[in-house]
Amino acid sequence: MKILTVLTMATLLLTVGCQNTVNTVENSEKQAQVTTIQDTRVITDRFLRDRLKIIRVNVAENSDGFLQVQVEALNDRVGYLGQFWSWLTDANPYRVNYKFSWFDDAGMAVATDLSIWKQVIVKPGETINFRSVAPTAKCRDFTLSLQEAE
Amino acid sequence: MSHRILFSVAAAVLATAAGCVSEPEIIDTRDTTTNRVRSMEKVSSTDFIEAAEYGINSILSDEIFSEYLAEYKAAGHGNSRPLLMISAVQNRTTAHVDMPLLTSRISSALLKSRKVRVTSVLAADSAQRDTASKELRNLEDDEDFDQQSVLQRGTLKSPDLTLSGAIIEQRNTSGRTTELTYFFDMRLTNSRTGEVVWEDHIEIGRRQKRPLLGL
């Protein structure tokens, strides 16, 4: 029984040592006039969905009529156990690959140099914004693909 | 007999070595993530792709550039778009760099976006310059050509905008660790006034640690 207690204490101490997450502070009364849209998600990786939580999808149009998209996501793996698990699985820092695809007003995918796979590092507890602008003013639809980096 | 054994062993070694050669593999050139090779010696293909993507995103969403376009239309150009010339991008790195790998991506994206038109008559890099437009106007004394079909002089358009910039290499070494960054500086200049109507930069870096022993 004593051994179990010592082991538990040691594990807890280890996990406390692993805790290294992001704290944030922001203005509580927001001034921005945000246009948040409904989104459709296709989930094939539930681990990614649970770890990188999509908070909201904002769109805005610039004065030329080009659509801009911002997908806000949070690395939700915080807390002792989450950090311990990340340390065990060698998943820190958390790297995510992403790509925007754009579609014209006829729903056809537009081949553009804006549609490339890129990688970003997201710290535990950090909020990240994936941003892209439409390659033409005719593009009204988009897809953001996300993948955990190997 | 011993020669036969030696020959068999040599043949077996050769066959094994030949088997080790891997077939060329198709890669996704639009994937800039870790499965692409990044050199510690020169700017890699992925760096150009990333820098161009950043530049295009920045131009297309830039409000100052949108204001310039609105002013251009208001200045009697109607629905016409400004003409872009691909000017010089300075290479401040230690290796040879083919600048069209960056500028061509940006200019073609801008052309497709219908924000600008692009001229190939004038360009800093010969790879992006088409000399035919000027040469075709030199046929006015050539009797082999129907002179009515020969292009008139004074019809080429002077550019309204120029795309220029620089790629600057920064290398820092501390102990066994070397950090390399490439600073991609890009700008669009109103060639009529010399004013910069868009400017941005991206820094792409990497780090390598030499092993304690060995090369």
Q: Summarize pLDDT for A62-100 with one digit per residue, the tens.
A: 988 999 999 999 998 887 777 777 777 777 789 999 999
Q: Average pLDDT, whole number, for chain A?
A: 87
- Residues of B within 8 A of A63 (CB-CB) are 63, 66-67, 70
Looking at the complex, report in whole angstroms how far the Cα of residue B3 sits from the nearest Cα belonging to chain A.
Answer: 50
ipTM: 0.82
Answer whether A63 sits within 8 Å of B67, measured CB to CB.
yes
Strands (E), B61-160: 83-92, 117-123
- Residues of A within 8 A of B31 (CB-CB) are 116-117
Q: Which of A117, A134, A136 lies nearest to residue B32, judging by beta carbons?
A: A117
Tens digit of each residue's pLDDT (9 = 90 or more) over A108-131: 999 999 999 999 999 999 999 999
The pLDDT assigned to B59 comes to 97
The pLDDT assigned to A105 comes to 92
The pLDDT assigned to B66 comes to 95
pLDDT band for B16, please (50, 70, 90 cuts): low
pLDDT band for B14, please (50, 70, 90 cuts): low
The answer for residues whose C-beta is within 8 angstroms of residue A31's C-beta and 6 or more apart is none
| Mean pLDDT within B118-147 | 93
A130 strand-pairing partners: A71
Report the alpha-carbon distance of residue A22 to residue A32 in Å, rounded.
24
Q: Which of B50, B52, B60 lies nearest to residue A66, judging by beta carbons?
A: B60
More confident residue, A23 or B112: B112
Closest chain B residue to the Cα of A60, Cα to Cα: B61
Does pLDDT of A1 surpass 80?
no
Q: Which of B32, B63, B114 lies nearest to residue A136, judging by beta carbons?
A: B114
Token pair recorded at residue B131: 């000399």
Question: Of A67, A102, A117, A148, which to mutate for an interface test with B (greatest number of B Cβ within 10 Å)?
Answer: A117
Q: Average pLDDT, whole number, for chain B?
A: 90
More confident residue, B52 or B32: B52
Q: Is B73 exposed, middle or buried (0-12, 13-18, 19+ CB in 10 A)?
A: middle
More confident residue, B17 or A126: A126
Q: Which of B49, B61, B105 lies nearest to residue A133, judging by beta carbons?
A: B61
Domains, chain B, in order of start with CATH, read 38-209 (3.40.50)
Closest chain A residue to the Cα of B60, Cα to Cα: A133
Answer whether A68 sits within 8 Å of B28, measured CB to CB.
no
CATH T-level fold of A34-77+91-148: Immunoglobulin-like (2.60.40)
More confident residue, A14 or B135: B135
Strands (E), chain B: 83-92, 117-123, 161-174, 177-190, 196-209
Tens digit of each residue's pLDDT (9 = 90 or more) over B157-193: 999 999 999 999 999 999 999 999 999 999 999 999 9
- Residues of A within 8 A of B52 (CB-CB) are 113
More confident residue, A14 or A52: A52
Quick check: A51 and A65 in contact, CB under 8 A? no
Answer whether B115 sits within 8 Å of A115, measured CB to CB.
no
The pLDDT assigned to A78 comes to 81
The full set of domain ranges for chain A reads: 34-77+91-148
Looking at the complex, report in whole angstroms how far the Cα of residue A52 sits from the nearest Cα belonging to chain B.
Answer: 18
More confident residue, A11 or A101: A101
- Residues of A within 8 A of B69 (CB-CB) are 64
Helices of type H across B62-153:
63-72, 100-113, 132-135
Looking at the complex, report in whole angstroms how far the Cα of residue B173 sits from the nearest Cα belonging to chain A.
Answer: 23
Coil, helix or strand at residue A120: strand
| Mean pLDDT within A2-29 | 72
Among B5-9, B133-137, B197-201, which is the least confidently predicted range? B5-9
Q: Amino acid identity of A88?
A: L
Residues written for chain B: 215
Answer whether A114 sits within 8 Å of B30, measured CB to CB.
no
- Residues of B within 8 A of A137 (CB-CB) are 113-114
Answer whether A135 sits within 8 Å of B56, measured CB to CB.
yes
Closest chain B residue to the Cα of A120, Cα to Cα: B33
Question: Of B48, B61, B186, which to mutate for an interface test with A (greatest number of A Cβ within 10 Å)?
Answer: B61
Cα-based distances in Å from A83 to A10, A119, A120, A128, B177: 15, 21, 19, 19, 28
